[in-house]
Structures are given as structure tokens and as C-alpha cells.
Amino acid sequence: MSQTHPNPLVPFSVACLGIGTYALMDVLMKSLSIQLGVYNAMLWRTSAGLLIAFVLFMWKRGTWPALSVLRLHVWRGAVTSVMAFLFFWGLVYVPVAEAIGLSFIAPLIALYLAAVLLKEKISETAVLASLFGLSGAVVIVFGKLGGEYDDNVGLGIAAILLSALIYAYNLILQRQQAVIAGPVEIAFFQNATVVSIYALFAPFWAVVPSVDVMPELLTASALGIASLMLLSWAYARAQARILIPVEYTAFLWAAWMGWLAFDEQVTGWTLVGTGLIVVGCLVAARQKSGPVEHIETTAI
């Protein structure tokens, strides 16, 4: 049951920690993707995540969902498997902060998907928000074109933008899923679906990772599960309008961790572009129709 916390600072702080753990997972996944390739990094991380989610599911004495709920779990897991692969493939070639900044366009795209799929009316505010978001993405890409651009960087940006487009649809599925299942059940079936899909390609691409990378794999898996639980706890105990600003700390975490781990420098173009995208998201958040979903790509 959702219950508002008497001190909003508590869920606010927990949400900040949740975003930080996801940013750290992104950094670890970039390292693992460089070492193992994106497919193997995703296969083994989600496999470890499935074990953790299974233990939590059994500890919570979870029950098998109805067929209609199971279909939604499986469909969202399939969407996530494609979305996550594209994001982490792009992350190999694009600095972490820029990738996170570009991913912020997802909720703006979701406004239009909601109009198509959920028959929600698009307001003038939504259009204005989208223009800010689109301008921000263009600025970030333009900054790359004027600097260290090459074919791999261009493809990486394209992969991240396509991942953000798919994530926007994932937000629609998230709305539908959240009202019928708890976070532990969602984590278990999502990981199970992703592992099942990636396992189909195991005979061709799977390589058993060395013992040296196991700590990174296990840590990345644990961080993903922990962040999901932290954010779920926080959003059940504070209004979305209080926690929305927390989502944008993902860029600060990503910039700091990318600099520490990969010596990635944050350019002025990235700061300006991300600022425009954040303004667009905040404009969208001021609409009166319903809660705002998570903004950073935290469902992967």
C-alpha cells in the first residue's frame, strides 16, 4: 500500500540514492560491454539479476500472475531486451553523460505515444515541451558533429536515440504494468523474459566470462535490482512532483562517474543540450493530466 512519508526529505534522499545506483550500473555496464561485448554483458548481467529477483520473488512468496498479466510482463520484457541492447551498444561509443542526456527525450516522445495508444489529448504545453527536448537533442548531436565525430560515434548516438524512442513506448507499458503488479514480480518476470530472449542466441554468441569480471557482473546486477526497489519505495511515499527533480541528478552522477572511470569530459554543448531537454521535461511535468513517469532510462 502507498503511504505518504511525514518527512518528504526521506523519500527524496532514497530516490537520489536510487538514481545514483543506476548511474553506477551504467558505468559498470559500459566497462563490461567493452570487455565482453554488449550481448554477453547483457546476457550474464540479466542472468545474475534473474537469480537475485527469483530469491526476492520466493522470499515475498510471489504467486504466478494471471495469463493477461503474464502477457504484459513478457511483452515489456521483450521490448526491454531490444531497448537495453541498443542503449548499451551506443554507450560503448558515447560518453555516459551524453547518453543519459539524450535518453531524457523519452518522456517527451511518450506524450505523443500516449495520444496514439491511450487516446490522451496533446496540449500546447506538450508541444512546447517537445520543441525544447528536440532542440536539446539537436544541440548535443551538433556538438559531436563539430568535434570528435566518427562513424562509430554517429552510430552510437543513433542507437541511443532509437533506444530512447523504444523506452518512450516502455513508459506506456510501465503505466499499464504498475497498477497490476508489484516491483518484485515485475523485476523477476522482466529479467526472466530478457534472459530467455538472449539465450536464443547463446549457441552463436555466448562466451562464458572469466572469473575476473564476475565481481563487476554481480555488482551491476545487484545495483539494478536495488535501484528498482529504492525508486519504487520512494515513489510510493512521496508525490511525483516532489521527486521529479531527482531524476535529473542522473546526468550529474553520469558525468562524475564517466570522468572517474573513463576520463570522459563533459562539453559545453552537452550541458546546454541537456539543459534544454530538462526544461522540456519540466514543462511537460507542469501539465495537470496524471503523474510523470521516471525520466532517465532506469528500466534496463
How much is the pLDDT for 108? 67
Look at residue 3 and tell me if it is in a domain.
Answer: no
Yes or no: say if 185 and 57 are a contact pair by the CB < 8 Å rule.
yes
How much is the pLDDT for 299? 46
Burial class (CB within 10 angstroms; exposed 0-12, middle 13-18, buried 19+) of 51 = middle
Look at residue 140 and tell me if it is in a domain.
Answer: yes
- Residue 136: closest CA among 271, 270, 266, 273: 273
Look at residue 295 and tell me if it is in a domain.
Answer: no
Q: Can you give the pLDDT of all 300 residues of the chain as single tens digits?
A: 456 776 777 887 888 898 889 889 999 999 999 999 999 999 999 999 999 999 999 998 888 999 999 999 999 999 999 999 999 999 999 888 788 878 877 766 766 776 777 666 666 776 777 677 778 777 877 776 655 556 688 889 899 999 988 988 887 787 677 678 888 888 899 999 999 999 999 999 999 999 999 999 999 999 988 887 787 777 667 765 566 566 667 777 888 888 888 888 878 878 888 888 778 767 765 655 444 444 455 545
How much is the pLDDT for 277? 74
Look at residue 278 and tell me if it is in a domain.
Answer: yes
Look at residue 2 and tell me if it is in a domain.
Answer: no
Domain that holds residue 95: 9-285
Look at residue 291 and tell me if it is in a domain.
Answer: no
Look at residue 138 and tell me if it is in a domain.
Answer: yes
According to DSSP, residue 212 is labeled G
Residue 76 neighbours by CB under 8 Å, 6+ apart: 170, 173, 174, 177, 190, 193
How much is the pLDDT for 10? 83
What is the number of structural domains in the chain?
A: 1
Look at residue 119 and tell me if it is in a domain.
Answer: yes
